Amino acid sequence: MNKGEQAPDFDLPDQHGTRRKLSDFLAQGPLVLFFYPIALSSGCTAESCHFRDLGAEFAELGAQRAGISNDTVERQLEFDKTNAFGYPLLSDEDGAVATAFGVRRTGLLAGLSPTRRQTFVIDTDRTILDVVKSEVRMQAHAEGALKALRARTA
């Protein structure tokens, strides 16, 4: 998925087993949806904690945050309990949503890192405002999303 395209709707459980749809998120404002490879890994923890720590800035811009990986609901709950994120962690166990967004890996790397680390800033009409791509700069995702959201309100 690229900037300007329409994000596909989805229906996934969060870390508490509650079903979440993109359309429901967007009824409350723009959504920052960040894909991460593996819950509880060091890089994913750093990235997710940065989104947590900038929560007030996202709230000021009327935006919500949600993380997504192919981890189970139970592992997402453990990840959340360990780090007190304060936002939904979605379980995309079969990788269907990752595939729809174009971030699912195939081949040899898929076993180690099934999902590419990418962040999508999605406006209320499902238009992708920006895509942040970086496998190694964990802070780039939240900061890039904030930049896109600020440009949206300027």
Catalytic residue among 44, 97, 138, 145: 44
Cα separation, 9 vs 150, in Å, equals 24
Q: Is 44 an annotated catalytic residue? A: yes
Q: What is the chain written as a DSSP string?
A: --TTSBPPP-EEE-TTS-EEEHHHHHTTS-EEEEE-S-TTSHHHHHHHHHHHHTHHHHHHTT-EEEEEES--HHHHHHHHHHH---S-EEE-TT-HHHHHHT-B--STHHHH--B--EEEEE-TTSBEEEEEE-SS-THHHHHHHHHHHHHHH-
- Point out the residues that are catalytic: 44
